[in-house]
């Protein structure tokens, strides 16, 4: 259990807390809640062939017309983390 806790704490520290100056407990809770939403819903998983948890299937890798599929960038924690999605 210690290894699992160490892994998630390290991920939180490296990916979020090292880049954000926390000013109080309420701010810390807000930052951790935003990271939790990103981690549980969008972050790629090795067990799913690098698909995020919320993805249904792997997007088509062969795109011939680059204007046909547009990408939307969502900034999490003021741009510390970026999430990318295809726009319909």
Beta carbons within 10 angstroms of residue 52's beta carbon? 17
| Phi, psi of 44, rounded to the nearest 5 degrees | -60, 145
| 63, pLDDT greater than 60 | no
Residues contacting 79, CB < 8 A, separation 6+: none
% of residues, the chain, pLDDT over 70 = 73
pLDDT band at 1 (very low <50, low <70, confident <90, very high): confident
| Phi, psi of 55, rounded to the nearest 5 degrees | -80, 140
- Can you give the pTM of this predicted structure? 0.66
Q: What is the pLDDT of residue 42?
A: 77
Q: What is the pLDDT of residue 56?
A: 65
Q: What is the pLDDT of residue 32?
A: 93
- Token look-up 């067990």 returns 47
- Token look-up 């046909």 returns 68
């Amino acid at each position: 259990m210690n290894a699992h806790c160490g892994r998630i704490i390290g991920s939180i520290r490296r990916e979020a807390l090292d880049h954000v100056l926390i000013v109080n407990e309420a701010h810390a809770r807000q930052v951790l809640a935003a990271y939790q939403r990103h981690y549980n819903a969008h972050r790629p998983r090795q067990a799913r062939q690098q698909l995020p948890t919320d993805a249904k299937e792997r997007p088509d890798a062969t795109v011939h017309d680059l204007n046909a599929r547009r990408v939307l960038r969502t900034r999490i924690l003021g741009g510390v983390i970026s999430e990318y999605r295809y726009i319909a």
